[in-house]
């Protein structure tokens, strides 16, 4: 069934957390490890505007359905960041916009070059770039849904779990859009399949890798994806991507975990199940 972009836009809404008892965390604080992971998630959500900026230089912005989706997607991701920041604030952790801006400035030439690279790639590839964008987005959103659900299960806090499940539900709508678009565009073009497969296999990295310190990336994915259950989640993610036309056999998630040193099997080593050096 085709994705109904008009229905998506009409039902897009700010995620709610006003009804949740955030004071609950004063008596039941989250662990330091979970707070570090939530901060990572919040920063990534707030950086969505940068990803949108970069993609506006590509052929994607000329597609009506895609541009409509990106507008609503950016809005929803912002509110995800706000919701996570509200929980962090109860724990005395302030998500400061000046700090977020400083993190972007710290990227230096990489941040300035990203939209240029995206634009040049889009011009070189043409309309097939949209298939890459949609497949890449599907991988990122699949992993976001999995991360939020894993976090809810690991922490076992009822208030946190409720919020994370609400966020995951919205992220699942994003998955539906990206997958429907990716499948349709990949089916139409063998060139798009080859290019997408190449870029996912050689360039794709876990969400946040381009903006966060590598130690934070290792920590977060070690916490969420280590051990047998974490590896099963990664295998499921790879299975989802492998189901896209021309992507059979890709193992981008498991490859990324191996590259980060995330333990496959019972957790051991340093924080979050990342093997100590």
Q: What is the number of domains present in the chain?
A: 1
Terminal Cα-to-Cα distance of the chain (whole angstroms): 48
b/e burial code for range 181-220 (CB count within 10 A of at least 16 → b): bbbebbeebeebbebbbebbeeebebbbbbbbeeebbbbb
Could you tell me if residue 18 is inside a domain? Answer: no
Say what the pLDDT of residue 229 is: 93
Q: Residue 118: is its pLDDT beyond 60?
A: no
In a domain, 118, yes or no: yes
19 is a domain residue: no
Determine, yes or no, domain membership for 185.
yes
187/246 Cα distance (integer angstroms): 8
pLDDT of amino acid 48: 78
251-274 pLDDT, tens digit each: 999 999 999 999 875 444 434 444
Q: pTM of the prediction?
A: 0.84
38 and 30 Cβ atoms separated by less than 8 Å: yes
**For 45-96, what is each residue's pLDDT tens digit?**
988 766 665 666 665 656 778 889 988 999 999 999 999 999 999 999 988 7
What is residue 264's predicted lDDT score, i.e. its pLDDT? Answer: 74
Domain limits for position 223? 29-273
Residue 17 lies in a domain: no
Tell me if 12 is assigned to some domain: no
**CATH label of the domain that carries residue 238:** 1.10.620.20
Q: Flag whether 248 is in a domain.
A: yes
Q: Which two tokens stand for residue 264?
A: 């496959």
pLDDT, tens only, 128-186: 888 988 999 999 999 999 999 999 999 889 999 999 999 999 999 999 999 999 999 99
Computed over every residue of the chain, the mean pLDDT equals 84
User: Residue 167: CA atoms inside 13 Å, Cβ hemisphere, count?
Assistant: 32
24 occurs within a structural domain: no
């Amino acid at each position: 069934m085709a994705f109904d972009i008009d229905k998506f836009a009409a039902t897009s809404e700010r995620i709610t957390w006003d009804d949740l008892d955030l004071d609950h965390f004063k008596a039941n604080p989250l662990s330091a490890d979970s707070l570090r992971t939530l901060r990572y998630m919040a920063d990534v959500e707030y950086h969505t505007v940068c990803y949108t900026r970069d993609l506006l230089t590509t052929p994607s912005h000329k597609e009506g359905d895609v541009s409509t989706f990106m507008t609503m997607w950016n809005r929803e991701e912002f509110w995800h960041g706000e919701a996570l920041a509200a929980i962090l604030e109860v724990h005395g952790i302030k998500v400061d916009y000046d700090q977020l801006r400083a993190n972007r400035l710290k990227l230096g030439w990489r941040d300035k070059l990203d939209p240029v690279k995206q634009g040049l790639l889009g011009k070189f590839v043409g309309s097939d770039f949209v298939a890459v964008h949609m497949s890449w987005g599907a991988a990122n959103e699949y992993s976001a849904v999995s991360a939020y659900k894993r976090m809810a299960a690991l922490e076992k806090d009822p208030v946190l779990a409720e919020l994370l499940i609400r966020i995951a539900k919205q992220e699942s709508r994003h998955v539906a859009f990206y997958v429907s678009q990716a499948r349709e565009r990949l089916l139409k073009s063998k060139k798009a399949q080859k290019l997408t497969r190449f870029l996912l296999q050689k360039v794709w990295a876990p969400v946040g890798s381009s903006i966060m310190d590598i130690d934070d990336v290792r920590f977060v994915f070690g916490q969420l994806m280590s051990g047998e259950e974490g590896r099963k989640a990664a295998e499921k993610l790879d299975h989802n991507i492998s189901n896209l036309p021309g992507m059979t056999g890709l193992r981008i998630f498991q490859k990324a975990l191996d590259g980060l040193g995330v333990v496959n099997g019972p957790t051991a080593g340093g924080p979050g199940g990342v093997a100590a050096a």
